[in-house]
Chain A
Amino acid sequence: MNALTVHAPVLLVAVPLLGAFATPLIGKLGRGPRDLFVGLIVAVTAALAGLLAADFFASSGAPQLYVLGGKGLSLPLPSGMTVPIRIMFEVDGMSAFMTLITALVTLTGAYFSFSYWRERSGGSMYYSLLLLLTDGIFGMELTGDMFNFFVFLEITSIAACGLIGFRVWLKKSQEAGFKVMTLYTLSGLFVLLAVALLYGQHGGLNIAFLAGQIGTLGATIVDKVALGLLLTGLAMKAGAVPLHMWAPDAYGEAPAPMSAVLVANSQASLYALFRVLFTLFGVGVALSTNGWIIIVFAMLTIFVGVTMALVQSDIKRLIAFGAVSQIGYMLLGVGVGLVRRASLLAGGAALADKADALDYGFVAMQGGIFHMLNDAACIGLLFLTTGAVIRASGTRDLNKMGGLAHRMKWTTIFFVIGAFALAGVPPFNGFASKLLIYEASFKVSPFLSVIAILSSIMLLAVFVKAFQGAFLGPRTGLSDAGEAPLGMLIPMAVLALVVIAFGLFPGFFVDTIVTPAARALWFGRDAYIGAVLGGG
């Protein structure tokens, strides 16, 4: 293990931060140097994420610690009790997996932006905010400290709303910016309240320390209040129905390449939710209750998201609602896993039932987590193609578009790939992850699978509507716009290749990266705590 892999977790946060601060200065030199610099920073960040993940998935899978600002992680008190006081980053399978998703989305989003803003005013501020958002997302995924998590959460809120609203001349983007910022801040404040409650109860902020305390002492009323606040606040930030109202505004009004990064931001909140449910409150509370709350959120999200997408006439808002519905599948997979885990941990169950619970619960988790990666790639691809479409046609109204396929052949192909993959058409990757979720949730209740499958079919209908409206039809004046420039096509092609690769070789990716991530949540609680507190 060399110095670079040891420092990789903190460099993932420090390098984008450096980029975010230096970009406005380098921007004064001109557009060329600035684009070069931002491209370099994003590439270095992605390489670091790849290095971290490769190193982690190749190793035994024990959580990696990085302590900020010191050699050791604990401070022995005069009474002999040691409390982990330093801020630390803790990387386990799930964190490493999430950094891969974020790196993929930001890399393609940033490189797409260089061409997207070629003729428009994409200032240095845009790239600065993009790097800041990336930084916050990485921080949320890597941190092992509750308060530090809140700080990164607020960094993502501010940067995301800056990105939504930085085009101050657009009426709707200002409205969206205000609404999203209010709701983000509110949810962030309730998360902070939960952190304060946990600190007051247990006297520590380290996630592993808190989890150990809750595990050994059992959850008190204060802990349960904190759980409720964290659950709702993070569900809001992830965009679960009925707390999703900001999500279509945010994804729809942000610049197209940034909508994909905003989805990655929602997924980071989802990651935090899973961390809270499996690690922080993995023992000591009624897991099946938590699981059913998540499942109810999931069913509402899947169904309302997809039905609302069907009636949109703004192409970006339509895809934004589609993105909301996909969050539901991830919640469903993990919720089913949680319910299954509860029956596994419950005493008195027959041995066969336990094996069954382990099997299907774990499969559901694999499905939900694999779907995060698939969703990031597919929805990223769809938002990028939408950006190319809007740029070519100059409108977002599906009723005014038509016939774009005549000139934009590659964009059309990429849109079809993304739409089929997200709607779960075999042999693309969305089918593989959704199949895992359907079959595992069928074991809990057939009703869940039925709704999930029906909504997936409706999602295909949604994309058929968008495809018919924008790409098909006779050649019109609007469709005379040319193909998107190469700088936009290459990021789309990269995402399309990722989609196809995940689709054709799901077994390989599930075995190498998804299973360690699912294991980290399912089995990894003791290891996560033990890495900080010792023993375990």
Chain B
Amino acid sequence: MNVGSFPFIIAALLVVFGLYALLFKRNLIKMVIGISLVETGVNLFLVMVGYRSGGAAPIYTYANAGERMVLPTPQALTLTSIVIGLATTALLLSFAVFVHRHYGTLDVRKIKELRG
């Protein structure tokens, strides 16, 4: 299946939406979602870098002889990146829980004791 440059556009859009959430959303949880969106965009880009039109999944045991495969390295990188993303998201959400406990709000504009 020839997908053209469509996934790259989606990846760029995901990054832009994520940045929009980080720039204009006040809620801490929504900012974490923004980070996740940027991450998803980058991951999608990374997978697309190794994609070949019509390629099979890079699993040697399933492929037919002579069939061309997509590049496995970016997929391995993406998996690593997803694992790291899980850890960062968990940490960010934990911080959000404790920030809410201390400040009683998730509004980022009210959480500014550290300034100046």
Residues of A within 8 A of B (CB): 147, 150-151, 154, 157-158, 161-162, 165, 168, 171-172, 174-179, 181-182, 185-186, 189, 192-193, 196, 199-200, 205, 248-249, 252-253, 311
Q: Is A147 a contact partner of B77 (Cβ separation < 8 A)?
A: yes
**What would 24 A/B residue contacts be, using CB atoms closer than 8 Å?**
A147-B77, A150-B81, A151-B84, A157-B88, A158-B88, A158-B91, A161-B91, A161-B95, A168-B98, A174-B99, A175-B99, A175-B112, A175-B113, A176-B114, A177-B98, A178-B28, A178-B96, A179-B114, A182-B92, A189-B35, A189-B42, A205-B73, A248-B114, A252-B114
Tell me, rounded to whole Å, the shortest Cβ–Cβ distance linking A49 to chain B.
26
Q: Is B98 a contact partner of A186 (Cβ separation < 8 A)?
A: no
Tell me, rounded to whole Å, the shortest Cβ–Cβ distance linking A167 to chain B.
10
Q: Is B114 a contact partner of A193 (Cβ separation < 8 A)?
A: no
Would you call B38 an interface residue if the criterion is a C-beta within 8 Å of the partner chain's C-beta atoms?
yes
Q: Is B35 a contact partner of A154 (Cβ separation < 8 A)?
A: no
> How far is it, in angstroms, between the C-alpha of A196 and the C-alpha of B31 when the chains are bound?
24
Tell me, rounded to whole Å, the shortest Cβ–Cβ distance linking B96 to chain A.
6
Q: Is B42 a contact partner of A158 (Cβ separation < 8 A)?
A: no
Q: Is B114 a contact partner of A196 (Cβ separation < 8 A)?
A: no
> How far is it, in angstroms, between the C-alpha of A157 and the C-alpha of B92 when the chains are bound?
12
Tell me, rounded to whole Å, the shortest Cβ–Cβ distance linking A115 to chain B.
28
| Chain B, Cβ-Cβ closest to A249 | B114
Of B49, B74, B103, which one neighbours A171 at CB under 8 angstroms? B103
Tell me, rounded to whole Å, the shortest Cβ–Cβ distance linking B56 to chain A.
19
Scan residues 75-93 of chain B and give those whose CB is less than 8 A from a CB of chain A: 77, 80-81, 84, 87-88, 91-92
Of A150, A158, A172, A193, which one neighbours B87 at CB under 8 angstroms? A158
Q: Is B114 a contact partner of A174 (Cβ separation < 8 A)?
A: no
> How far is it, in angstroms, between the C-alpha of A252 and the C-alpha of B77 when the chains are bound?
34
Q: Is A193 a contact partner of B88 (Cβ separation < 8 A)?
A: no
**Chain B residues closer than 8 Å to A196, beta-carbon distance:** 42, 45-46, 49, 74, 77
**Chain B residues closer than 8 Å to A150, beta-carbon distance:** 81
> How far is it, in angstroms, between the C-alpha of A398 and the C-alpha of B97 when the chains are bound?
31
> How far is it, in angstroms, between the C-alpha of A175 and the C-alpha of B35 when the chains are bound?
17
A-B complex: 10 closest residue pairs judged by Cβ atoms = A178-B95, A200-B49, A171-B102, A174-B98, A196-B46, A154-B84, A177-B95, A249-B114, A174-B99, A185-B88
> How far is it, in angstroms, between the C-alpha of A185 and the C-alpha of B93 when the chains are bound?
13
Q: Is A193 a contact partner of B42 (Cβ separation < 8 A)?
A: yes
Q: Is A186 a contact partner of B22 (Cβ separation < 8 A)?
A: yes
**Chain B residues closer than 8 Å to A181, beta-carbon distance:** 88, 91-92, 95
> How far is it, in angstroms, between the C-alpha of A157 and the C-alpha of B96 when the chains are bound?
17
Tell me, rounded to whole Å, the shortest Cβ–Cβ distance linking B52 to chain A.
13
Among A161, A165, A178, residue most surrounded by chain B Cβ atoms (within 10 Å): A178
**Chain B residues closer than 8 Å to A253, beta-carbon distance:** 114
Tell me, rounded to whole Å, the shortest Cβ–Cβ distance linking B71 to chain A.
9
